[in-house]
Chain A
Amino acid sequence: MTEVLKLGQKVPDFELTTYEPTRQDFGKFSLQEQIDKKRWTVLFFYPADFTFV
């Protein structure tokens, strides 16, 4: 069981394979890259494609 993150904690690095609608291609998201680029991130979880979000 992974320990759940709390507010104020550094998020452990993670990656996600993505679909990028702007390029109509697959890509990769990496939290470390966001930190390197000094970018803010909003992660938006939802239950399932083809339903309301």
Chain B
Amino acid sequence: MAAVGLASLLFAETGQVTTGCYNCMKCSSGCPVSFAADLKTHEVIRLVNLNRLDKLLKSKTIWLCAFCKTCKQRCPNDIDASVVMDWLKSKALADGIAPALPNIPVMYQSFLQSVEKLGRVYEAGWIGTYKIKTKTFTQDIKLGLKMIKRRKIKLLPGRIRNYQEIRKIFACARKNDNIRKGL
């Protein structure tokens, strides 16, 4: 457990005032992924205020958040729970805690590798990388073939001209931000 209260740490790093929460549960009621989550959104905020980092970092919810901002839009106290989830993801990765839904960080990582290398996303490449890393080759094969047939997935990558600028942007992110370890 951190020496500093989790809520104050989160405020310092993200500006989110989680202590303003009075548990009205509007966030959880509107959350599209709450049916699949182990902690409801208001429970995440409550656990932050109770300093229960251990429980939060092991939860599926921080990975399942779809960042749709329904919670933020409806919160009467203007708390953006999706930003809290992002911060908790980074904390879990930095602390070496195994993600409860391991495929999701692999997906983000594969996507960003493509952007860093090429400046744009190359679908066939990053989805291929993701499938190799997660061993999910057979999933969605039929759909993939339909997409290729309709020329919705390009088979060859393209790189932007000043791709070096993108690599520098990533280097800056690694240098001065808490860029999530392993992403």
- B is a partner of A: no
